[in-house]
Amino acid sequence: MPTKKVWIGIVVVLVLLGMLVGPSLVEPVALQTSYSKTPTGHRALFDLLDELRPGVERWRRTPLSLGEHSSRAGTQHGLLMLEPKPQLLSEGEAYHEAIVQWVRDGNDLILVPRLHETLIADLIGREFEFHEQTKTYGSGIQAILNKAGLKGKISTRYGFNAQAPNRPFTTTEGDQLLLPFVLNLDDRDPAFKSVLAVRNSDEEPVELLLDAAVGKGRIAIVLAPGLFWNKGLAAGDNGFSVVNLLSEYGRDGLLIDEYYHGLASIDGLMKLLLTEPFLWLTLSFLFLATLVTWRSLVRSEPLVEPPLPTRRSKREHIDAMGRLIATSGENPWVIEQVLHGVQAEVRTCLRLDPSTSTDSVLDFLRRSDETLAERFESLIEQAPMSHSDRSNEKAAVEWGRKSHAFLRDLHGTRKVGARSHKPRLTLDTQ
Helix 333-349 × helix 358-368 angle, to 10°: 40
Residues 133, 241 within the same domain: yes
pLDDT of residue 30: 52
Does any domain span residue 297?
no
The mean pLDDT value for 357-371 works out to 84
Does any domain span residue 115?
yes
The mean pLDDT value for 111-136 works out to 51
Does any domain span residue 427?
no
**Whether residue 158 has pLDDT greater than 90:** no
| 202: confidence class by pLDDT, cuts 50, 70, 90 | confident
* Higher per-residue pLDDT: 326 or 203: 203
Q: What is the number of structural domains in the chain? A: 2
| 260: confidence class by pLDDT, cuts 50, 70, 90 | confident
Residues 202, 65 within the same domain: yes
Helix then strand then coil, % of the chain, to nearest 5: 45, 15, 40
The mean pLDDT value for 48-71 works out to 86
pTM listed for this prediction: 0.55
Residues 403-412: b if buried by 16+ CB within 10 A, e if exposed: bbebbebbbe
**Whether residue 233 has pLDDT greater than 50:** yes
| 56: confidence class by pLDDT, cuts 50, 70, 90 | very high
State which of 214, 249, 274 marks the end of a domain: 274
Question: Residue by residue, what is the 3-state secondary structure of 27-66?
Answer: CCCCCCCCCCCCCCCCHHHHHHHHHHCCCEEEECCCHHHH
The mean pLDDT value for 105-122 works out to 73
Helix 370-382 × helix 358-368 angle, to 10°: 150
Does any domain span residue 308?
no
Residues 130, 30 within the same domain: yes
In angstroms, the CA 221 to CA 205 distance is 17
* Higher per-residue pLDDT: 125 or 398: 398
CA distances from 32 to 97, 159, 328 (A): 25, 19, 96
Residue type for position 415: K
Residues 242, 318 within the same domain: no
pLDDT of residue 140: 80
Residues 234, 153 within the same domain: yes
Rg from Cα positions in the chain: 51
Closest residue by Cα to residue 89 from 135, 46, 142: 142
Residues 101, 152 within the same domain: yes
The range of the structural domain enclosing residue 139 comes to: 25-274
CATH code assigned at 52? 3.40.50
The mean pLDDT value for 383-408 works out to 70
Chain-centre distance for alpha carbon 73: 39
The mean pLDDT value for 293-318 works out to 67
In angstroms, the CA 407 to CA 404 distance is 5
Residues 259, 327 within the same domain: no
| Bridge partners of residue 219, in order along the sequence | 109, 212
Residues 100, 153 within the same domain: yes
In angstroms, the CA 90 to CA 84 distance is 10
Does any domain span residue 289?
no
Closest residue by Cα to residue 254 from 243, 262, 263: 243
Does any domain span residue 423?
no
The mean-pLDDT minimum among 20-24, 304-308, 371-375 falls in 20-24
Residues 269, 217 within the same domain: yes
In angstroms, the CA 396 to CA 322 distance is 5
**Whether residue 18 has pLDDT greater than 50:** yes
Does any domain span residue 14?
no
Residues 264, 330 within the same domain: no
* Higher per-residue pLDDT: 185 or 14: 185
* Higher per-residue pLDDT: 384 or 131: 384
**Whether residue 294 has pLDDT greater than 70:** yes
State which of 274, 297, 332 marks the end of a domain: 274
Q: Is the peptide bond before 23 cis (omega within 30 degrees of 0)?
A: no
Closest residue by Cα to residue 119 from 160, 166, 179: 160
The mean pLDDT value for 130-148 works out to 65
**Whether residue 128 has pLDDT greater than 50:** no
| Bridge partners of residue 206, in order along the sequence | 198
Residues 46, 184 within the same domain: yes
* Secondary structure class of 202 (helix, strand, coil): coil
| 356: confidence class by pLDDT, cuts 50, 70, 90 | confident
**Whether residue 121 has pLDDT greater than 50:** no
**115 and 292 Cβ atoms separated by less than 8 Å:** no
Residues 334, 250 within the same domain: no
In angstroms, the CA 66 to CA 107 distance is 10
Which residues fall within 8 angstroms of residue 330, CB to CB, at 6 or more apart? 387
**288 and 168 Cβ atoms separated by less than 8 Å:** no
Q: Chain-wide mean pLDDT for the chain?
A: 76
Does any domain span residue 6?
no
